[in-house]
Chains A and B, each alone.
Chain A
Amino acid sequence: MLAAIGAESVAELFEQVPVPLRLGRPLALPGGMGEAEVLERMAALAARNADADEQVCFLGAGMYDHHVPAIVDAIVQRSEFLTPYTPYQPEISQGGLQVMFEFQTAISELTGLPVSNAGLYEGPSSVASAGYLAMAATGRRRFVVSRGLHPHSRETLATYAVGYGAELVEVGLRDGETDGGALAAAVDGETAAVFLQSPNFLGAVERVEALGAAAKEHGALLVVATDPMTLGVLKPPGEQGADIALGEGQPLGNRLDFGGPSFGFFCATEKQIRRMPGRIAGETEDVDGRRGFVLALQTREQHIRREKATHNICTAQALNALAAMVHLAWLGRAGYRELGELLVRRTAYARERLAAVEGVEPLHEAPVAREFAVRLAAPVGRVLERCAERGIAAGYPLGREYPEHEDGLLVAITERRTRAQVDALAEALGAAVAAEGGDFAPDGATKSPVGEGVGR
């Protein structure tokens, strides 16, 4: 090969690297190892994680321990889906492009909005992407954001807003739901978008249409983040006046994987189609009239539009979107609805069951669909510790991100959380609160100076 190149040695090929910049020593990393050894090392690391098989998982906060059907694994592991690049040569990418088209159809159905893209990275950064679109659509730079939005979404939006030159205004919660009066007061003619989440972070199903009226009045876009597992039973954002519906897609077909990779779904009204971020598959024909699919509206994208692109995204999460599509196909029209109903009923049961436990009470009474918040009459951290000792990850502590709910715990339900497990959770919480509740008054009031309800 060197002869063909006309070089004496491989080193000669590296001569274009100036001498001072040549590393000149091996990388300070271990030497390479064989498969078995790598597996052993990785297994040793894996063994030090309390995964959802080890600890019954009532953790939610956007990512849920749903059952991922076996065919998802089989399909996403196929070479033809796993290893190709982005479909820039559509003639040999019809598999991937058609999957995108099917996915876009399904997600559009779920959200009730006509235009879906093929996916973004995940939930919170999709919220930030909606902000970018809203600025382009309205020419305004102000975001009004409900405190009910996932803290990670709010934080991510704030980070991106520095680059956007946008201002964020937060509206608090009242009894678990967005304070409608405060929201209406916060929206004005400078508002690019109003951001709501339903079910919100505390699990409450929000009155999106009523809340969104303020946005409509002032010509701001209404952006609604939602949980894709609840759209079988809850009225979708598209039927409640949303201009953009988006969210964390993990519950559909994707493992927990310590938080990623998953995908973000993103839908909008027809009017916004040319401002959409991300890949969009479109239907067309080939020269012989055969039905086929291509990447449509590429002039929005960075590889053509560069500094004027609707977004900078290139590589997204295509394989994870495929997993979602397979899961949705497996659930099917009836199964998806049935699953949603199951979640609502089991969640209602769980909330009631926990509310009956001494030292545990619901943090709010708003309707819930698959996740709910309670207040504990004992330090949440210590309660969680005791539950963990019993093999239960009892929930997500609210205190760090909602200091006004220092005693709060968010409990998530999936179809894998059986009645027996919920009962065991109730028992464990009861025992833990009883054991740890020394400093707390029996009615649940805490020593914290922060009052209840209204957020900041």
Chain B
Amino acid sequence: MTPAETPMQRERATTIYERSRRGRRAAVLPGAEVPEPPLEELIPAELLRAEPPGLPEVAEPEIVRHYNRLSRRNFDLDSGLYPLGSCTMKHNPRLNERVAALPGHARLHPAQEPRRAQGALELMWLLQRSLAEICGLPHVSLQPSAGSHGELAGLLLTRAFHADRGEERTKVLAPDTSHGTNPASVTMAGYEAVKVATDERGGVEMDDLRARIDEDPDRVACLMLTNPNTLGLFDENIAEIAATIHEAGGTLYYDGANLNAVMGHSRPGDMGFDIVHVNLHKSFSQPHGGGGPGAGPIAVSERIEPFLPRPQVVRRDGGDGGEPFFDLDLERPKSIGRLRGFQGNFGVFVRAYAYILSLGADGLAEASETAVLNANYLKARLAEGRAGERLPVAFERHCMHEFVLSGRPMKRELGLATLDLAKRLLDFGFHPPTVYFPLLVEEALMVEPTETETKESLDAFAAAIEAILAEAEDDPEVARRAPYTTPVRRLDEVKATRRPVVRQTLEG
């Protein structure tokens, strides 16, 4: 059944090192312009490097060709649908790249004095204010560099908050459906991770929540949630959940991965959350870059504010009728301290702020609305035909911006795992949805189309799923051995992990 090799498959992977030829180079460097004594006269010989490190030796045209060719071995969002649940793969406006490249932003040194970086500090302050409004919490720190970083920050803030009250708490609760970063962050923050069950409606199982707290009420530090949750469902009990955890003396943390469902419609601060992290590389259009950069700013309530990381971007009164000015506040006696160098991923802030300006209040609310509409539409299409039978939705209700299907019938009846479906989708020109998460659903498929997909795009996806299932009824082997048309076919992950080869060995 294996079709002939595609041209890209015929082109074997060649690294930049393998394209090197001794003596070739691209860089033309300036001359020293200064005296050039032997280095040993400037730095003791024993501190000097004997052999230069192995780096490629290629001229510029070869470098460009190499990386261009390599880029074509990637599927990307600008080329097709990427319905990864909880990733919010929405279009990345190119305007934001142009804005980020303005020299006033791009060529500004982070240690430049605040008075000479007023544009940058004001931008950060404006972004902080915008996020505060969107989240419904008054105080924002932009320092964390990603969602996980924000989670760690939130847990350290929680720790500082309790320590300040003379309380020692040791446990953090999170649903069994939570993203892996949540429990990982819990451990890094020195807490014990405790799982809370999910009920048949897909929300937090209230009795289990109460039971977990009652086990040791004085030791519960925090409950980490996302709402809508990773099943794409809004937990209607959220007010009660907030009251419950607050009564026990814990903080309520919001993982902002799913914020795209509710911007302008509902706010985590109003739901009762104390600390919220926002993924700028999700709801706020920062390009994913193949794995970053992103940013994970946090918004917090009044009572958490004193513990915010240092430095904090503030606006100070000009005093005596002077202009207000923006500053980095380092006088924060109760601050948890720094989470990283300088001020954070400023280039990401620029893009996110440009996005917020572009959309505005109306646009952001519309984005969430459309995200929810698109998800429900796609869910409805996938409830028809074969998909409806073999890939039933895990929870039968309107979803928000994402939904989870179960591949259990597909596996039992057709012998096709969710993984096989995902690999076959690659041949149809789609990036598959998130697979095998959340763990609660067997053979899970988590689908988030986002608002920037057209109806036609969603219809095409549904048609592809239908086609793959029809094909599988006939011959499930086709999908089990997919993909066929991608630059490489199914890869041996066992081999990679058993005897890891994580760098090239260079000759001489």
Contact = CB atoms under 8 A, between A and B. Distances in A.
Contacts of B266: 17, 21-23
A21 B39 CA distance: 68
A302 interface: yes
A81 B289 contact: yes
Contact of A162 (B84, B118, B159, B422): B159
The bracket for how many chain A residues form the interface is 35 or more
A431 interface: no
A84 B288 contact: yes
A331 B29 CA distance: 9
Given A10-B373, A294-B491, A234 B47 contact: yes
A79 B76 CA distance: 7
Given A260-B343, A285-B492, A7 B398 contact: yes
Interface string B98-128: 1111111111111111001111101100000
B357 A41 contact: yes
Nearest to A281: B502
Contact of B146 (A16, A99, A123, A316): A316
A258 B105 contact: yes
Contacts of A328: 55-56
Interface string B371-384: 01100110111000
Contact of B106 (A256, A302, A305): A256
Contact of B13 (A2, A292, A305): A292
A285 to B, nearest CB: 6
Contacts of A102: 15-17, 504
A38 interface: yes
The winner among B104, B336, B483 for most chain A CB atoms within 10 A is: B104
B contact face: mostly helix, strand, loop, or mixed: loop
A339 B123 CA distance: 35
Contact of A15 (B72, B184, B398): B398
B43 A369 contact: yes
Interface in A1-52: 1-2, 4-7, 10, 12-18, 20-23, 26-35, 37-39, 41-52
A23 B265 contact: yes
Nearest to B22: A333
Given A1-B373, A114-B503, A292-B488, A80 B76 contact: yes
B495 A285 contact: yes
B478 to A, nearest CB: 14
A256 B108 contact: yes
Given A122-B340, A332-B58, 14 more contacts: A10-B369, A10-B373, A29-B130, A29-B134, A51-B106, A75-B67, A86-B290, A115-B502, A132-B188, A232-B52, A259-B344, A393-B109, A400-B330, A415-B30
A286 B2 CA distance: 14
Interface string A247-283: 0100000011111110100000000010000011111
B110 to A, nearest CB: 3
B293 A49 contact: no
B239 A159 contact: no
B71 A329 contact: no
Chain A to chain B: the 8 pairs with minimum beta-carbon distance, closest first:
A46-B104, A259-B110, A319-B289, A32-B360, A259-B342, A318-B291, A261-B293, A48-B119
A28 B361 contact: yes
Contact of B113 (A93, A239, A384): A384
Contacts of A319: 287, 289-293
Contact of B44 (A114, A119, A367): A367
B289 A45 contact: no
A291 B12 contact: yes
A99 to B, nearest CB: 7
Interface stretch (B345-353, B386-394, B405-413): B345-353
Given A49-B105, A329-B26, A322 B290 contact: yes
A326 B57 CA distance: 12
B359 interface: yes
Interface stretch (A189-197, A213-221, A344-352, A432-440): A344-352
Contacts of B346: 257-261
B33 interface: yes
A303 B26 contact: no
B502 A235 contact: no
Contacts of A281: 502
B264 interface: yes
Contact of A231 (B20, B53, B179): B53
A117 B387 CA distance: 40
* B: interface residue count bin: 35 or more
Given A47-B119, A82-B289, A333-B57, A7 B145 contact: no
B253 interface: no
Nearest to A124: B341
Given A91-B487, A108-B503, A328-B56, A257 B105 contact: yes
Given A152-B341, A260-B343, A336 B55 contact: yes
Contacts of B111: 59, 61, 63, 396
Chain A CB count within 10 A is highest, among B293, B345, B346, for B293
Contacts of A186: none
A65 B63 contact: no
A346 B60 CA distance: 27
A15 to B, nearest CB: 7
Given A258-B105, A285-B491, A302 B180 contact: yes
A330 B61 CA distance: 10
17 contacts: A32-B357, A42-B99, A49-B118, A71-B64, A75-B68, A82-B287, A93-B75, A121-B145, A156-B340, A162-B336, A234-B48, A258-B108, A260-B345, A282-B500, A285-B492, A296-B502, A393-B116
A305 to B, nearest CB: 7
B49 A232 contact: yes
Contacts of A357: none
A18 B236 contact: yes
A200 interface: no
Contacts of B74: 80-81, 84, 92-96
A170 B383 CA distance: 62
A185 interface: no
A138 interface: no
B421 to A, nearest CB: 12
A322 B290 CA distance: 10
Contacts of A61: 111
A355 interface: no
A83 B376 CA distance: 25
B92 A284 contact: no
A4 B377 contact: yes
A448 interface: no
B193 A256 contact: no
A255 B189 CA distance: 32
A63 B109 contact: yes
B167 to A, nearest CB: 15
Contact of A312 (B9, B188, B483): B188
